[in-house]
Amino acid sequence: MADRHVIIIGAGLGGLVCGKFLSHRGFTVTILEQSTQAGGALQTFVRDGIRFDTGFHSVGGLDRGEPLDLIFRQLGVRSLPWFRMEDDECIGCSEPFLRLSTGWEVERRHVLEPYRKSIWRLEGGGKTLIDALKTGQQVLLRKKVVAIEDRTVYCADGSSYRGDFVVSDIHPLTTMRMVRDHFRPAYLQRLEMLSNGPGAFTVYAKLRHGSIKHIKHSIFVNNDFMIHFGDEVVEGYARSLDIVTFQPADRERDAYAQELIRKASVRLPGLPEAIEKYWTSTPKTWERYTGTPGGSAYGICKNSTSDYLAPQTPLPWLFLTGQNLGLHGVLGTSISAINTCNSISLL
């Protein structure tokens, strides 16, 4: 088993978790990431000295013995500064995640249940988790993979990497379209038939000091949008918040942002005046940063077990991982990574 080399395409959560588990099992791992930073949808950015999370607000299932608690202990990231949140506040919607995404029935059991038991955040946000996961791993940045052939991965800068196995953390259809080896066309046709969920439109707002009290939970409104507060608190007041909707309208960015801010002010009176500055991201932003087709937030829709993809592809050395396989989110993506690693370890 030792000395077997795995090339992983993409340093999103799926790629990094696979890399950790495979290294634990004696594989040598190289992760190739197109971007200038690892993390994919868990990236953070800083504006005006304030850190904003992008695709990471909270996780469920971290109480002792719950699924993510067990996985994070194995990954060595349970000891990070996680803290428990209050229960979400729902105004006009009972099952926010279920309805705000795409109504996937499987979400109810596997993604929502852990959230019902406990909701957690991490000091420093997604960046803290990503930094811990990439420690000790060989992650090569600015390595955009453009072709895959015969266990070898080719990058846009002309470099190539050969492994005994290749794992792709990027969208399955994008992956298989890069493959030059022959494989049965029915597989590609099946991937082409799968649809992706919607992308997110987010308003990231910097608040004037002393304007809006910090709230230690998320607020879901009318199955339409959600509000998350940043972690930074000064004398009980929030420094930032974001408003996210999974129903992006085909509208000019600023007009749409203003509309969301106005709607959010029903719950947070004075919000428009409290915002000193704001930035926005659209599904196109996501597509540009993570390569996800259409900027889909949660990837391929799964409405029943029939749409679940296996980690194995028709090529015996090429495997898939990431949120597109099973469930999305930190928990779903981590479980998919375990499935992928098990499939490889058994060979």
Cβ-proximal residue to ligand FAD, closest one: 12
CB of 242 to ligand FAD, least distance (A): 9
Binding of residue 30 to ligand FAD (CB under 6 A)? no
Q: What is the DSSP letter of 76?
A: T
Span near ligand FAD by CB under 6 A; candidates 13-21, 78-86, 99-107, 269-277: 13-21
Binding of residue 32 to ligand FAD (CB under 6 A)? yes
CB of 76 to ligand FAD, least distance (A): 18
* Residue from 120, 118, 132 nearest 58 by CA: 120
- How far the first Cα of the chain sits from its last, in Å, is 9
Phi, psi of 127 (to 5 degrees): -60, -40
Residue length, the chain? 347
- H/E element, 18: helix 13-24
Give the per-residue contact string, 185-204, with ligand FAD (x = CB under 6 A; - = no).
---------------x-x--
Chosen residue from 290, 313, 334, 340 binding ligand FAD by CB under 6 A:
290
Binding of residue 40 to ligand FAD (CB under 6 A)? yes
Span near ligand FAD by CB under 6 A; candidates 181-189, 306-314, 328-336, 339-347: 328-336
Q: Which is nearer to ligand FAD, 311 or 329 (CB)?
A: 329
Phi, psi of 47 (to 5 degrees): -135, 130
Binding of residue 55 to ligand FAD (CB under 6 A)? yes
Chosen residue from 170, 212, 219, 221 binding ligand FAD by CB under 6 A:
170
Binding of residue 205 to ligand FAD (CB under 6 A)? no
Q: Which is nearer to ligand FAD, 149 or 273 (CB)?
A: 149
How many Å apart are CA 341 and CA 322, to the nearest integer? 12
Residue bearing tokens 């090429």: 318
Binding of residue 96 to ligand FAD (CB under 6 A)? no
Residues with Cβ within 8 Å of residue 132, at least 6 apart in sequence: 76, 77, 80
Span near ligand FAD by CB under 6 A; candidates 82-90, 98-106, 158-166, 327-335: 327-335
Binding of residue 322 to ligand FAD (CB under 6 A)? yes
Span near ligand FAD by CB under 6 A; candidates 72-80, 127-135, 203-211, 324-332: 324-332
Long-range contacts of 72-77 (CB under 8 A, 24+ apart): 74/21, 74/24, 75/17, 75/20, 75/21, 75/133, 75/334, 76/20, 76/132, 77/129, 77/132, 77/133
Give the per-residue contact string, 219-248, with ligand FAD (x = CB under 6 A; - = no).
-------------------------x----
Distance of CA 35 to the CA centre of its chain: 15
- Record the tokens describing residue 155, joined without a space: 């990058």
Around 221, how many Cα atoms within 13 Å sit in the side-chain half-sphere?
17
Q: Which is nearer to ligand FAD, 12 or 230 (CB)?
A: 12
Whether the CB-CB separation of 91 and 99 falls below 8 Å is answered with: no
How far are the Cα atoms of 18, 31, 252 from residue 142, in angstroms, in the given order?
20, 11, 31
- H/E element, 149: strand 145-149
Binding of residue 323 to ligand FAD (CB under 6 A)? yes
- With CB under 6 A as the rule, give the number of residues binding ligand FAD: 38
Residue bearing tokens 């509309």: 259
Binding of residue 148 to ligand FAD (CB under 6 A)? no
Binding site for ligand FAD (CB under 6 A): 9-15, 32-35, 40-42, 55-59, 143-145, 169-170, 200, 202, 244, 290-292, 297-298, 322-323, 328-330, 333
